[in-house]
Amino acid sequence: MADYKHIFRTVMKETFANISSFGSMIFVYCLALAFLFVDLNFGVIMLIGLVSLDIAGNLIKLILPKKRPDNEPYSNMIEKLHAGSFPSIHAARAAFLALLLNLYFKGIWFGVFIFIIALLVGASRKILDRHYFIDIFAGYVLGILVFLSIQASML
């Protein structure tokens, strides 16, 4: 029976790691670059928002350093930023993109789907022991604030 529990835990961990990648830097910037070929203006707005969000999130991590639940070790400033827990930049990117893409595609079912994905990204960060709840909440707030500032100034 223990083998099944181990297999189940492994599958769940891999599943949530994959869900978490929807908030990863590689995924979101590739998505923004792809949008440059589909709708140049929207792609530029997405890139500006993502860069703004990453700069703001990392500045907060520098000003308010907080270790991750798993106590990720670090030996230099870049690793220290990566090892910082507050705010969750994955959650911030997921919230920002959910709002922005919902504005672009304007479908109720797409909106429901993309917001569920954003919530799952946040849940995955907690389940994978990468963030505390407050980090994820702060990430969502940061993503919403960046979206609102982009919406007010560019859309």
3-state SS, the chain, equals: CHHHHHHHHHHHHHHHHHHHHHHCHHHHHHHHHHHHHHCHHHHHHHHHHHHHHHHHHHHHHHHCCCECCCCCCCCCHHHHHHHECCCCHHHHHHHHHHHHHHHHHCCHHHHHHHHHHHHHHHHHHHHCCCCCHHHHHHHHHHHHHHHHHHHHHHC
Residue 32 has what pLDDT?
96
CB 149 within 8 A of CB 99: no
Q: What is the pLDDT of residues 70-129, one digit of tens each?
A: 887 777 878 777 778 899 999 999 999 999 999 999 889 999 999 999 999 999 999 888
To the nearest 10°, report the CA torsion of 77, 80, 82, 84.
Answer: -140
% of the chain residues with pLDDT over 70? 98
Q: Which residues pair with 84 in a beta bridge?
A: 67
Mean pLDDT value of segment 9-33: 88
Residue 45 has what pLDDT?
95
Instruction: Quote the number of domains for the chain.
Output: 1
- Banded model confidence at residue 3, pLDDT cuts 50, 70, 90: confident
Boundaries of domain holding 63? 2-154
CB 150 within 8 A of CB 52: yes
